[in-house]
Each structure stands twice: as structure tokens, then as C-alpha cells.
Amino acid sequence: MTPAHDANATQPLDRLGRPLRDLRISVTDRCNFRCRYCMPREVFGERYRFLPRNELLTFEEIARIARIARRLGVRKIRLTGGEPLLRNGLPRLVRMLAALDGLDIALTTNGSLLAEQAAALRAAGLRRVTVSLDSLDDAVFQQMNDADFPVARVLDGIDAAARAGLAPVKINAVVRRGVNDHTAVDLARHFKGSGHILRFIEYMDVGTTNGWRVDDVVPGGEIVRMISAVMPLQPIEPAYRGEVARRWRYADGDGEIGIITSVTQPFCGDCTRARLSADGALFTCLFATQGADLRALLRAGAADDVIEAAIEGAWRRRADRYSELRSGETRGMPRIEMSYIGG
């Protein structure tokens, strides 16, 4: 038995000493929203060519990669997109992944279809769900997502997830100055005491189409001050190595929030995540420029050991720390769009 197959063997580390623990799997590059920080409509319009069905990894191919990645130390799988709930039959994939011993299966969704699918996903073995919700104000929400979709239906999805046993639900809000920052406190007030965990995310320069400017970023520290002025907060320790959110609890004990500060306080040094695109490319950073083509190996009939070696090799060569380097030397570098690589 080779070390890569031995459950007690040392797991591969990248060039900065970071282990592979988390794999984010995009199951589709399609989405029914057109959030301006991810899929601006002027780029992802009617003429945009999304991946054809035959280029997407099958559920069997995804499950095989997950099983191999599990041997290399992956403990958490998060299904993403695009909008993952647009992929037909997703509970079947969840069931296949849940059958792999020792994996924590989670999902990130815009919540638009969650009310209808939450119970089936939980029954299939989904453990956790994160819902994107940038504002409770319908006008602001629709300005952010550029879709005619009401906040109430996202809230219905969150409630359905909780009833199905997926509580606590995590709610992610991207904050953009002059667009939705004035609604952040209302969002915090709404979820305070709900048992769910609200996380605010600094607006990031993922891809090249979202028109990112540093002036549009609301620093995490500023968000904390806004909320704490109304509902006092206290910092708390991370729950585990590689946790992306800085945690804060309400001083009255009525819940917590998270702040994801990849712009102002990068966390590259503890990043343990790899990403698999819907067409089978493995990326070692959200801001990557290229990935390793695992689909070609799968469809050429490669043995598990060959695919494992490709994943391990990509990870051992990894030296990514884009957010720490964000400066003139990285400006203008080609980057993969978030809708392709998964958030």
C-alpha cells in the first residue's frame, strides 16, 4: 500500500505547508441570477455560451474524484456553481458523496430553489447549507442580483432548510459600498437570535468582468463597527484551522456573525481549499489562472492512482497567495470567473 492510500500516512502539503482539507465542486456554470459581482448581465447575456451538457462531469465522475481526494486528506465537500440547484437530480449526487466515509457534505446556493429541494437534499445526506442573501430590501437585493426575485422566497428557502434539519443555516452577504452597505445592520438584526449565522464578505476582485475597484470595498472592520454600535460584538476564536470567517458574537449571547476579509486581512496562509470546475478542471486558488484537467484523465480511462497523482502533484506545486500579494504585480493577470470555478 502506497503512502497516499494509507489513512495514517502524512497528507500532502503544498509549498507553503498547507494541507488539502476542503474540495469545492462546481456542478454547473449556469445561474438564474446575474449578480454584478459574479455574473454581470452585459457579459453573461443571452448570447453567452455556457458549458454544454456533455462537457460537464457526470455525477459518477464527480463521486470518483471525491473518493480519490478523500484518500489525499479531503474532509469537506462543498457543492457550488453557478447555482447548484439548477443541476437536475442533485440529491442523487449528494447521496453518492454521503456514502463516502468521513466526508462532510455542504452546499452553497442563492436560495431561489431551496424551499422545494431542502427536504430531499437533507434526506440524501446533505449536512450543511449556505445561502447567499445580500440585503433584506427587495430593491437593493434586486439591484445586487439583477433578477426579478423577491427576498421573501429566499427567506422561505432558509426556513425550509432549517425545518429539514440543515440548521444552523449560514447566510452570506457580499457588501459593496454605496449599493447595500446601508442595509447591513438590518440584515444582522433580522438574523440575530435566529440560530443562523450571518457572514459578511468583502467585495472581491474575482475574475475580470465585475468592474471591481478597491473603493467599492467595505472593510470588514468597518462592518463590525457599524453593527457593534447598535448590537455590541465581541471577538471569538476560530472553530478550526482554515476557517475563512473571523467570528464575532453578540455581547448579549444572542448569536454570532462572521466577517470574511480576503481583501483587507487575507487568510491565504491557512487556506486548505481546492476547487473543481463543472467541466473537471482542478484549481488551487479562487484567483487561479489555470487548472489541472482531470476530466481528460477520467475519460481516457486513467486508473485511480494516476488521477490521485495528478491531484497530489497539483497540490504539492501550489504556492498560491493572491490575496496577500494583491498589488501592482498581480494587476492585469488573467483570472477565472467565479461562476466557472465556484465561489
- pLDDT tens digit string along 177-232? 999 999 999 999 999 999 999 999 998 766 555 656 677 899 999 999 999 999 99
The strand order across the sheet containing 104-109 reads 233-236, 246-250, 256-260, 197-202, 170-175, 128-132, 104-109, 76-80, 22-26, 273-276, 281-283, 292-293
pLDDT value of residue 206: 62
User: Which of 67-76, 112-121, 249-258, 279-288 shows the lowest mean pLDDT across its residues?
Assistant: 279-288
Residue pLDDT, tens place only, 99-125: 999 999 999 999 999 999 999 999 999
The pLDDT-based confidence of 239 (bands split at 50, 70, 90) is confident
Residue 85 has pLDDT above 80, yes or no: yes
The amino acid present at 50, given as its one-letter code, is: F
Secondary structure E strands in the chain: 22-26, 76-80, 104-109, 128-132, 170-175, 197-202, 233-236, 246-250, 256-260, 273-276, 281-283, 292-293
Between CA 188 and CA 136 the distance in angstroms is 10
Query: What cell does 305 get?
Result: 492512482
Between CA 203 and CA 115 the distance in angstroms is 27
Residue 2 has pLDDT above 50, yes or no: no
CATH of the domain at 136: 3.20.20.70
Contact 206, 337 (CB under 8 A): yes
> For the chain, what is the mean pLDDT?
89
What domain range is 23 assigned to?
A: 3-341
pTM: 0.90
What is the mean predicted confidence (pLDDT) over 132-142?
Answer: 96
Q: How many domains does the chain have?
A: 1
Alpha-carbon distance values, 4 to 12, 71, 124, 274, 282 (Å): 8, 7, 29, 17, 18
